[in-house]
Chains A and B, each alone.
Chain A
């Protein structure tokens, strides 16, 4: 059975700033290496009649590319993020209202989808929306020589044979969403899932630290 070598896994330096914009109800910017994304959340607010759902809130996710208008790629990413958020948000607490999550690409240097997910979670936390669990995104790439690379850069993504992004929840470390590209074996998929779950521990520790810092009196 083919297996990947999994030595020397690492996440690039990552950082986050919350409440950086004054207008949205919640905002955050998330940085992974050079990749950065800015997120803003509005809601719960008035909903258009056409989009109203009688027993829960309508979640709308918009992704703004850096150059030009949103295309098919952005639409598919929007769907991935929306489904993840819908799985963790307690939407039934705000029936007949709207939540809008806007994600702006600041710089793309690989692992963009996982950065979207992390920024989205941070912004939702900042907006104080009720959630059943937190979530984080981890991207794994399998390089041509069968090495797993976590949090790949754009160059590493380009050289990779397969690329997988998982959204992982904070309570059970279950997979909320997966998006894959390229070909890989079942064994490789399982390996990537386990590696992502390991990496998510680091992310959730970071979430914990940043919330702790936010509600502390001193730096």
Chain B
């Protein structure tokens, strides 16, 4: 589906508002939208709501052979899936420019910053390592997918637990969660991406652009930073020239935002750990809002099964009884197997009839032949053998 174009009126309105330091949702220039971090039922599942933008991250693992160049390092794989649910412009199974850009940025932000200890993921050097796969699904696109994805991915990685493994000689045992407690990944630091959008060739700057603002912006600067104020990656796109001061200012803003977000993520992880320890129910089902009129939840409900048996007996008695016995296969012609009666019986009868007719015809012919021989005899008597014989044959098929 094509994207609905942004009208000139809307564009002008948005830019005018930005010039007047106003934003559509009433935020200030450096404000983030509300961030909400929730966790799923299993380990390594995390939802991030950034305003109306919503992403889900799921971490999974499996044992694979390592890369030849790095025999004792585990593999971390990232994939941002732009689901068609998020926006009608996203198509399934097609790598769009946006998805390539986001995937690359997430890899640079999390893999190249070496925030995960890949050496601890090694099981047998050169043979078996853990591959950690991070799937980020975008559920709703309302701008700033990068920040939401990076928060979701790093939170899911911190939340994830992999199964415990032991090696005895050549034998490798993977323990189920019941046998041994799963092990968390060792995360050195938490890089978080902060996006800045620039308008009017870099004159105006906004933090955390929403979808509308993204559509009128001139350029984008993404800074990935951890709470120790170390820049993990920095990328400018859109082709605008930025001054050194602007970049410096952005990095300062980013450091403040990152420390806020890291604190929030830490709190969310802590709350979840406490809830799991206390054995409380946790997961998506528990995060369903109860106070909204659009949401409703029921408790376990019993299903009455009083007259089920009678009803079933009734249905089965009414139903036609299928033939229980299957006749043994027969061989009508060599090379043809047949089970049951031939349903083409009618045709056969017709064929028989036809054959009968043919028989009659042939008998008639014979009779005629008889007459013919007589006629021929007559002809013999007349002794006038010529071309006329054929004509006489024609006469042998009377219309009656």
Contact B58 A67 (CB under 8 A): yes
In the complex, whether A57 has a CB less than 8 A from a CB of chain B is no
Considering only CB atoms, which chain A residue lies closest to B211 in the complex?
A: A23
Q: Which residues of A contact B86 (CB under 8 A)?
A: 23
Q: Which residues of B contact A106 (CB under 8 A)?
A: 40, 56, 284
Question: CB within 8 Å of A: which of B138-159?
Answer: 139-142
Q: Which residues of A contact B52 (CB under 8 A)?
A: 21-23
Interface size class of A (residues with CB under 8 A): 35 or more
Q: Which residues of B contact A31 (CB under 8 A)?
A: 284-285, 288, 297
Contact B92 A62 (CB under 8 A): yes
Contact A21 B300 (CB under 8 A): no
A213 to B290, CA, bound (A): 12
In the complex, whether B162 has a CB less than 8 A from a CB of chain A is no
- Cross-interface CB contact of B312 among A15, A194, A202, cutoff 8 Å: A194
Known contacts A15-B297, A106-B40, A209-B296; is-contact A67 B60 (Cβ 8 Å)? yes
In the complex, whether B295 has a CB less than 8 A from a CB of chain A is yes
Least distance between B36 CB and chain A CB atoms (Å): 12
Contact B285 A34 (CB under 8 A): yes
Contact B300 A11 (CB under 8 A): yes
- Residue interface mask A45-87, B partner, CB < 8 A = 1: 1100000000000000010101111100000000000000000
Interface size class of B (residues with CB under 8 A): 35 or more
Least distance between B313 CB and chain A CB atoms (Å): 9
Q: Which residues of B contact A11 (CB under 8 A)?
A: 300-303
Contact B288 A104 (CB under 8 A): no
Least distance between A33 CB and chain B CB atoms (Å): 7
In the complex, whether B87 has a CB less than 8 A from a CB of chain A is yes
Interface residues of B (CB under 8 A from A): 1-2, 40-42, 45, 52, 54, 56, 58, 60, 81, 83-88, 92-93, 133, 135, 137, 139-142, 283-285, 288-289, 291-305, 308-309, 311-312, 315-316
Interface residues of A (CB under 8 A from B): 3, 6-24, 27, 29, 31, 33-34, 36, 38-40, 42, 45-46, 62, 64, 66-70, 98, 100, 102, 104, 106-107, 109, 150, 186-187, 190-191, 194-195, 198-199, 202, 206, 209-210, 213-214, 216, 219
> 29 A-B Cβ contacts within 8 A?
A6-B305, A7-B305, A9-B303, A10-B301, A13-B285, A16-B297, A17-B295, A21-B139, A22-B140, A29-B288, A31-B297, A33-B285, A34-B283, A36-B284, A45-B88, A66-B45, A66-B58, A67-B60, A68-B135, A102-B83, A190-B315, A191-B308, A191-B312, A194-B311, A194-B315, A198-B304, A209-B298, A213-B293, A216-B293
Extra contacts besides A3-B312, A17-B292, A104-B139 (20): CB < 8 Å: A6-B308, A7-B305, A8-B302, A10-B303, A11-B300, A13-B298, A16-B297, A18-B295, A34-B285, A36-B284, A38-B139, A40-B85, A62-B84, A64-B137, A67-B133, A100-B84, A106-B56, A107-B45, A194-B311, A198-B308
